Amino acid sequence: MNLFMPPLVWSLAIGLPIPSLASELVSPPLSAQPTTDSLAQLAPPPDTGSPSRPARGGGSYFRLPDPPPGTPPEGRRRGGATRGTVNQGACPKLPIGLTALVPAIGEPTTDAAPVSTVQVWGNTTLAQPTFWFYNPYPQAADYSARFELRRDGSSESVYKTSLVLPNQPGIVGLPLPNTVSLEVNQRYRWFLTVDCNPLSDATPVSVEGVIQRVAVSPDLSRSLSTASAVEKASLFAKAGVWYDALTILAELRQQNSQAATDWQTLLKEVGLSDLADKSIVDCCKAEQ
């Protein structure tokens, strides 16, 4: 079963786009737009969630924003063959399956938990953000993967590519190429699908969720202009801008002890403590 479309020719290398992010955000990538929000108004509420499931408002480091307006951003953060299940389709069942590094609300915490509606979403200020996933599958000749981005509610792709998985499990970053730009206040739905047996009728493993690009408020813009890279990650986290905070910490965690601590805190506060110590691996080459 071949579900993969001919890819765009590009290389996703985690070391290429990410190092510039922390310095790039000294001057925010978007022009500040009038807003009544301020960092004081965005102070995080008390964390009342369990270690395995994020609190509705986030935690002491990350403030989980309200879901984007409109239809609830339903999705799947942990890989499954059908929404809301732990079936891993044609791929081997592992202690930790394919996982999107993104907040989720309503996720079952055990295999026996009842199926529930899961909301999976995160914000960014960037036109070309990096999407983060935990890939548990080592490279194999018959394994294939596809990433796709659509406007939420549309069946037409804004971007899609087939990928060759890295040769070892780990956390991978998939940045959008410069040919694709997210629009401010537009919702997009992303998908990552892994097929471990294309010749089988089993459904591939997939994760999906919603991303929305938001404008930088004037107050946040002023704070970012004088902040260090680690401080920028904290400012974005407290403002509920998930992807920007995560990407800065991913780039800094190997060289900066505070960034490494904040990375673990950020993942734990959204129920991803099982991934906090996983290594980041280079990914991914487009299939030729």
Beta carbons of 203 and 163 less than 8 angstroms apart: no
pLDDT, position 83: 41
Domain ranges in the chain are: 19-32+47-286
Beta carbons of 223 and 234 less than 8 angstroms apart: no
How large is the average pLDDT for residues 60-73? 88
Beta carbons of 129 and 17 less than 8 angstroms apart: no
pLDDT, position 93: 82
**What is the Rg, in whole angstroms, of the alpha carbon atoms belonging to the chain?**
18
Would you say the C-alpha torsion 75, 266, 212, 50 has a positive or negative sign? Answer: positive
Whole-angstrom Cα distance, residue 138 to residue 285? 14
Beta carbons of 54 and 105 less than 8 angstroms apart: yes
Q: Which of 150, 181, 143, 141 is nearest to 4 (CA)?
A: 143
How large is the average pLDDT for residues 264-284? 93
pLDDT, position 133: 96
**Between residues 93 and 73, which one has the greater pLDDT?**
73
Beta-carbon contacts of residue 212 (< 8 Å; ≥ 6 apart): 68, 121, 123, 124, 185, 186, 187, 188
Residue 208 has pLDDT above 90, yes or no: yes
Beta carbons of 63 and 42 less than 8 angstroms apart: yes
pLDDT, position 44: 35
pLDDT, position 11: 38
Whole-angstrom Cα distance, residue 280 to residue 262? 15
Rounded to two decimals, the pTM is 0.77
**Between residues 40 and 286, which one has the greater pLDDT?**
286
How large is the average pLDDT for residues 163-192? 93
Confidence of residue 70 (pLDDT cuts 50, 70, 90): confident
Q: Which of 264, 285, 12 is nearest to 163 (CA)?
A: 285
Whole-angstrom Cα distance, residue 132 to residue 220? 24
Maximum average pLDDT range among 162-171, 179-188, 189-198: 179-188
CA 176 to chain CA centroid, Å, is 12
Confidence of residue 19 (pLDDT cuts 50, 70, 90): very low
Q: What is the pLDDT of residues 122-151, one digit of tens each?
A: 999 999 999 999 999 877 767 889 999 999
Mean pLDDT of the chain: 78
Structure tokens at 66: 């309200």
Angular region, 112: left φ>0, alpha ψ -120 to 50, beta rest: alpha
Which residues partner with 164 through β-bridges? 285
Beta carbons of 100 and 173 less than 8 angstroms apart: no
How large is the average pLDDT for residues 89-110? 82
- Among 18-22, 119-123, 145-149, 186-190, name the one with the lowest average pLDDT: 18-22
